[in-house]
Amino acid sequence: MTEGHTIVADVIAHWNRDGSRASGLGGGGHTHGFWSKVLKRPDGCWVWLGYLDKNGAGKFCTMVAGKRVTVRAAVYAWRELIGEIPAKHSLIAVVCWNARCVNPAHRIGVPHRDLSRWFHALGRPYEHADNRGELCGRARLREEDVLFIRVQPTAYGLVPLLARLYQVSTVTINQVRYGRTWKHLGRRRAPVTEILSLKSLRELVEAREAERAGLQLEKDRFATARPGAAA
């Protein structure tokens, strides 16, 4: 993709080539735009945050001629930004090898008959879905939370407090602290200014729990105030 094409792609990123807004059904029957499900990372990967198939590739449900059609997210992005894919060609992420990436600049169309030779020559048998860190569907922590946890000095009672703060188990906290999880962050650490004393951390936990209790109370009030709610 040329530099000029990249600029055009950024301009029309939320629109179809015919000038209409990119649309899709999304999960749960709610209507969301295709590009609202794409996270553009600094490394150039456009990570699909929507539904994934068993191989880790993004799938997108949209409307074509009044009918629901499910296509690969990378294919949809290519068609909207580049054009139609040549017949009997597949898109391969030759730059990042991330099955979730929909950036056309990271992919190339390869004839079906040459796929095996391409994979053999490049030494990569298949694409891998990047599900590390926050991109994992089961992640309860964010990157900034992990860095904060790792920078806290060891003290008696620290781990249970951190577990209460982030509503995870003490096992999860210990795995983060000892680098058994979130390994892709390497030796990155939070700023020294984020180091808290045990007293300050306890006050933060209590304030956070009070805030959560208040939010839950508001939800309960709203639920009982709805028309038709049980008396």
CATH number of the structural domain spanning residue 87 = 3.90.75.20
Which residues, in sequence order, are CB contacts of 165 under 8 Å at separation 6+?
Answer: 201, 204, 205, 208
Categorize the per-residue pLDDT at 165 as very low, low, confident or very high, splitting at 50, 70 and 90.
very high
Please check the confidence at residue 28 and state whether its pLDDT lies above 70.
no
Strand, coil or helix: 139: coil
Q: What residues are paired with 109 via a beta bridge? A: 91
Q: Tokens representing 120?
A: 């053999």
Residue-wise pLDDT tens digits, 103-139: 999 988 888 888 777 777 776 656 666 666 766 656 7
Q: Which domain holds residue 168?
A: 133-225
Same domain, 104 and 143: no
As given in the structure block, the two tokens for residue 69 are 């059609």
End residue of a domain, out of 122, 148, 166: 122
Query: 231 lies in a domain?
Result: no
pLDDT tens track for 138-147 = 678 888 889 8
Residue 190 pLDDT exceeds 90: no
Determine, yes or no, domain membership for 127: no
Asked whether residue 137 falls in the same domain as residue 183, the answer is yes
Q: Is 69 helix (H, G, I), strand (E, B) or coil?
A: strand
d(CA 166, CA 206): 12
Residue 96: predicted pLDDT: 84
Write the CB contacts of 137 (distance below 8 Å, at least 6 apart in sequence).
Answer: 131
More confident: 189 or 48: 48
> What angle, 0 to 180 degrees and rounded to 10, lies between the N-to-C axes of helices 158-166 and 198-225?
30
What percent of the chain lies above the pLDDT cut of 90? 16
- pLDDT band at residue 173 using 50, 70 and 90 as cut-offs: very high
Q: What mean pLDDT do residues 90-112 have?
A: 86
167 and 97 in a common domain: no
Examine the domain organization and report whether 106 and 8 are in the same domain: yes
pLDDT at 211 over 80: yes
Whether residues 8 and 118 fall in one domain: yes
pLDDT at 160: 94
- Higher per-residue pLDDT: 40 or 30: 40
Burial label, 225 (beta-carbon count in 10 A; 0-12, 13-18, 19+): exposed
C-alpha 16 chain-centroid distance: 23
Residues 186 and 210 grouped into a single domain: yes
Q: At 72, which helix (H) or strand (E)?
A: strand 67-72
Question: Range with the lowest mean pLDDT among 20-29, 55-64, 109-118, 147-156?
Answer: 20-29
**Number of separate domains in the chain:** 2
Do 140 and 107 share a domain, yes or no? no
Burial class (CB in 10 A: 0-12, 13-18, 19+), 73: buried
